Amino acid sequence: MAKAPTTPAAPVVNPAEQVVKLLTTAKQTMVTAESCTGGMLAAAVTDIPGASAVLYGGYVTYANNAKSRMIRVPARLIKDYGAVSNQVARAMADGARNTAHTDFAIAVTGIAGPEGGSEKKPVGLVYVAVSSEHATLVVEHRFGDLGRAKVREASVNAAMDLLLVVLTDPQGNDASRLS
Amino acid sequence: MAKAPTTPAAPVVNPAEQVVKLLTTAKQTMVTAESCTGGMLAAAVTDIPGASAVLYGGYVTYANNAKSRMIRVPARLIKDYGAVSNQVARAMADGARNTAHTDFAIAVTGIAGPEGGSEKKPVGLVYVAVSSEHATLVVEHRFGDLGRAKVREASVNAAMDLLLVVLTDPQGNDASRLS
């Protein structure tokens, strides 16, 4: 009996490559602001040849005072809500975009573990944010304690996906895609 | 016939782990400034649990004006010598250390390819620099056109090795180790 025709596999698309391509076409620029991913997000973008056309650079704001000094996250916000919070993720994205004068900024703050987790804010809690001239979006993820490397990797993917959503739907007409 | 006794394999030591350990013991801090490695160096350090005790953060200064605005590399220096030069590597390391107020800064600038190479400055030309209160060291590498990923990886390793040399011999008494 003949086999059923197989569906061709979807082409493997690198999200960072898509980001660079979309921004290049639109002649737009981006910057990164990272805490728990500590440079991985910028590294994923700069892995793509031609990234220099769209990437201004990145801030690895690992210490709390690096967040305040590099990209003007109010120290008060960190004190009141904690470095891993919706509010600080938003302030990182907005602060990076305003400091760097780019069209987009993408920010990540989270708890990669193994230390630093608590009942309210467990290991795997990660906020990703994208700031554009239209809006700033923040998404909370609870990846669970997958181990430091996997939480960081999941965070990079989540951040890149959120930026792709914004880049392909800048007016936010299709909010369901964020779920 | 009995086999010759085998020499036990040297333990695999992660240079980033050594860096974090040495700085933690010395209660010292560091910052990164990256061009061609684009975040990989910071990512390697933040891969180590406990890095937050020693890493202030990192600057991914991908665009030339990011080098000037984030860490005060004189635009004139970039114009006169090029972004990939001994002079700019030194200015990136010194500028990052002074901007971040850390004990050490480590900087990388190079040509990862596939584009951007020339006869005088071929793909694989990479400068790594370490700035400390005692001195600023710059080392030129010519890795050759290994491909973008391998040039970036070799650059991270070279930078981490140079920092380790400085951390284990801060007065530079054993300059031969740099060869």
Give the pLDDT of residue A176: 53
Specify which residues A175 forms β-bridges with.
none
- Where residue B169 falls among pLDDT bands split at 50, 70, 90? confident
Chain A CA closest to residue B51: A62
- pLDDT tens-digit series, residues A1-47: 555 555 566 666 899 999 999 999 999 999 999 999 999 999 999 99
Question: Does the pLDDT at position A117 exceed 70?
Answer: yes
Asked if B19 and B164 touch (Cβ cutoff 8 Å), the reply is yes
Q: How confident is the model at residue B34 (pLDDT cuts 50, 70, 90)?
A: very high
User: What's the confidence (pLDDT) of residue A179?
Assistant: 44
* List of chain B residues whose C-beta atoms are within 8 Å of the C-beta of residue A43: 37-40, 43
Cis, peptide link before residue B114, omega less than 30° from 0 = yes
Smallest Cα distance from B39 to chain A, Å: 4
Burial class (CB in 10 A: 0-12, 13-18, 19+), A110: buried
Nearest residue in A to B111, CA atom = A49
Q: What is the CA radius of gyration of chain B?
A: 17
Question: What is the pLDDT averaged over residues B51-80?
Answer: 98
Smallest Cβ–Cβ distance between B115 and the set A44, A49, A69 belongs to: A49
Collect all residues of chain A within an 8 Å Cβ-Cβ radius of residue B109: none
Q: How far apart are the C-alpha atoms of A174 and A165, rounded to whole Å?
A: 9
Q: What is the pTM of this model?
A: 0.91
Closest residue by Cα to residue A69 from B57, B115, B14: B57
Which of B30, B62, B64 to mutate to test binding with chain A, by most A CBs within 10 Å of its CB? Answer: B62
Is the pLDDT at B2 greater than 60? The verdict is: no
Note the pLDDT tens digit of each residue in B131-148.
Answer: 999 999 999 999 999 999
The DSSP symbol for A12 reads P
What is the mean pLDDT of the segment spanning A113-128? 97
Query: Structure tokens of B90?
Result: 């030194």
Facing residue for A58 by CB, picked from B49, B56, B60: B60
Q: Which residues, 6+ apart, have CB-to-CB distance to B99 below 8 Å?
A: B31, B59, B70, B71, B72
Among chain A, residues having any CB pair with chain B shorter than 8 Å are 32, 34, 36-47, 49-52, 55-63, 65-66, 69-70, 100, 113-115, 148-149, 152
Do the chains contact at A38 and B38, CB–CB below 8 Å? no
| pLDDT of A13 | 80
Q: What is the pLDDT of residue A12?
A: 67
What's the confidence (pLDDT) of residue A98?
A: 98
Chain A residues in contact with B152 (beta carbon < 8 A): 46-47
Q: Quick check: A55 and B61 CB within 8 A?
A: no
Q: In chain B, what residues touch A152 (CB-CB under 8 Å)?
A: 46-47
Mutation target vs B (from A24, A56, A62, A102; most B CBs, 10 A cutoff): A62
User: Hey, is A170 helix, strand or coil?
Assistant: coil
Residues A137 and A3: their CA atoms lie apart, in Å, by 46
- pLDDT exceeds 70 at position A171: no
When CB atoms are compared, the residue of B39, B49, B51 closest to A40 is B39
* Tokens matching residue A1: 């009996």
Average pLDDT for chain B = 92
What does the pLDDT read at residue A172?
Answer: 65
- pLDDT tens profile B96-130: 999 999 999 999 999 999 999 999 999 999 999 99
- Computed on alpha carbons and rounded to an integer, the radius of gyration of chain A in Å comes to 17
Of B55, B60, B100, the CB nearest to A42: B60
Q: Which of B39, B50, B52 sits opposite A39 (nearest CB)?
A: B39
Q: Identify the pLDDT of residue B13.
A: 80
| A146: its two tokens | 């997958």
Q: Please say if the pLDDT value at position A111 is more than 80.
A: yes
Chain B residues near residue A52 by CB distance under 8 angstroms: 62-63
Instruction: Provide the pLDDT confidence category of residue B170 given band limits of 50, 70 and 90.
Output: low
- Map residue A179 onto helix, strand or coil: coil
Is residue A144 a contact partner of residue A155, using CB atoms and an 8 Å limit?
no
Contact B60 A57 (CB under 8 A): yes
pLDDT score for B6:
58
Does pLDDT of B5 surpass 60? Answer: no
Q: Quick one: pLDDT band at residue B151, thresholds 50, 70, 90?
A: very high
Q: State percent of chain B over pLDDT 70.
A: 88
Contacts of B148 in chain A (CB under 8 A): 47, 49
Distance from CA of B1 to the nearest CA of A (A): 47
pLDDT in tens, A56-102: 999 999 999 999 999 999 999 999 999 999 999 999 999 999 999 99
Evaluate whether B60 touches B34 at the Cβ level (below 8 Å): yes
Give the residue from chain B lying closest to A152, CA to CA: B47
